[in-house]
């Protein structure tokens, strides 16, 4: 019994996980893993999409004109200080207002990261390169599109990766307002003291975040034009 007692935690974790993954509900129906992951990704994607739409064009423009650079940096600092727990609380409070209100904290989480990435990425364009581009006859719009945005791509993708991982991890709160996603396992498990569900759900959130991280690493490694990837290695 002694040996088994020492290994008890492991056995419990293993049995919880096998109980969680072995449940036929995980394979079919509204509570299946595929369905929950789908919900989770949809919701995260929606938040990221809004953040992209709001922050990136503004960031690119601010970065190109060099205006409000101080403001953007200050904003990034403030954004980093935003506590995730506070966001969760906010999400729960907002839940009364309506489902999509939960999007607000998620967008608020992602947007500053993207704003700073876009702004700094464009602003860091080699000034000689910008000057040469103007000098050979590109218009401002063409310099932005053909020179500064390609230059900013690595920074933008890195920002998008950070934002995506944060949103996916935090989107667990969506389930508080019945939007489903992997948070349902965690929240549901906590409510019914079903630790197998809670731990299984948490593991899935971690796995999804890691997969996203990997996907972006691959994207940054292989999808960028060679000149951008290696010129600054």
Partner 1 sequence: MIRFDGAAKRHPDGTLAVEGLDLTVPAGRTTVLVGPSGCGKTTILRMVNRMVEPTAGRVLLDGTDVAQLDAAKLRRGIGYVIQQAGLFPHRRVIDNVATVPYLLGWDRKRARTRASELLELVGLPPETARRYPFQLSGGQQQRVGVARALAADPPLLLMDEPFSAVDPVVRSGLQDELLRLQAELNKTVLFVTHDIEEAVRLGDQIVVLREHGRIAQVADPATLLAAPADEQVAAFLGRDRGLRGLALRPAEGIVLLAANTPLDGWTLAVDQEGRPTGWQRSAETIRQVAVFRPGLDTLRTALDSAVLSPARVAVAVDHAGRVIGLAPRAAVLDALDAAGPDTAAGITATGVADGR
Q: What is the contact surface with partner 1 in residues (CB under 8 A)? A: 128-129, 131-139, 142, 146-147, 150-151, 225-228, 230-231
Sign of the dihedral through C-alpha 10, 11, 14, 16: negative
Nearer to partner 1 (CB atom), residue 193 or residue 222:
222
Distance separating alpha carbons of residues 183 and 173, to the nearest angstrom: 6
> What's the min distance (Å) between Cβ of 120 and partner 1?
17
Nearer to partner 1 (CB atom), residue 99 or residue 131:
131
210: CB partners within 8 A, 6+ apart: none
> What's the min distance (Å) between Cβ of 220 and partner 1?
14
> What's the min distance (Å) between Cβ of 125 and partner 1?
10
Q: Which one-letter DSSP state was computed for residue 178?
A: T
Nearer to partner 1 (CB atom), residue 81 or residue 136:
136
Distance separating alpha carbons of residues 24 and 177, to the nearest angstrom: 25
Nearer to partner 1 (CB atom), residue 6 or residue 231:
231
> What's the min distance (Å) between Cβ of 68 and partner 1?
21
Picking from 213, 196, 219, the residue whose alpha carbon sits closest to that of residue 26 is: 196
> What's the min distance (Å) between Cβ of 229 and partner 1?
9
> What's the min distance (Å) between Cβ of 230 and partner 1?
6
> What's the min distance (Å) between Cβ of 143 and partner 1?
10
Nearer to partner 1 (CB atom), residue 18 or residue 139:
139
Alpha helices per DSSP H over the chain = 2-6, 8-22, 33-65, 69-81, 84-95, 103-123, 127-135, 140-143, 149-170, 183-191, 195-222, 226-231
Nearer to partner 1 (CB atom), residue 147 or residue 173:
147
Distance separating alpha carbons of residues 49 and 34, to the nearest angstrom: 22
Contact 108, 146 (CB under 8 A): no
Picking from 111, 133, 110, the residue whose alpha carbon sits closest to that of residue 64 is: 133
Nearer to partner 1 (CB atom), residue 51 or residue 156:
156
Q: What are phi and psi of 126, to 5 degrees?
A: -50, 120
């Amino acid at each position: 019994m002694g040996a088994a007692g020492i290994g008890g935690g492991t056995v419990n974790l293993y049995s919880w996980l096998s109980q969680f993954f072995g449940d036929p509900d995980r394979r079919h129906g509204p509570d299946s893993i595929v369905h929950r992951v789908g919900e989770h990704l949809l919701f995260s994607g929606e938040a990221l999409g809004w953040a992209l739409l709001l922050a990136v064009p503004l960031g690119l423009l601010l970065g190109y004109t060099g205006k409000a650079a101080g403001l953007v940096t200050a904003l990034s600092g403030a954004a980093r200080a935003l506590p995730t727990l506070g966001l969760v609380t906010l999400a729960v409070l907002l839940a009364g207002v309506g489902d999509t209100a939960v999007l607000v904290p998620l967008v608020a989480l992602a947007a500053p990261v993207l704003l700073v990435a876009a702004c700094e990425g464009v602003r860091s364009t080699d000034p000689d390169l910008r000057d040469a581009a103007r000098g050979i006859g590109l218009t401002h719009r063409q310099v932005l599109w053909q020179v500064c945005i390609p230059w900013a791509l690595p920074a933008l993708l890195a920002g998008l990766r950070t934002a995506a991982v944060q949103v996916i991890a935090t989107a667990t709160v969506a389930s508080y307002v019945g939007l489903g996603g992997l948070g349902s396992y965690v929240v549901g498990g906590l409510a019914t003291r079903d630790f197998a569900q809670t731990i299984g759900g948490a593991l899935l959130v971690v796995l999804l975040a890691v997969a996203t991280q990997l996907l972006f690493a691959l994207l940054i490694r292989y999808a960028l034009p060679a000149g951008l990837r290696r010129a600054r290695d």
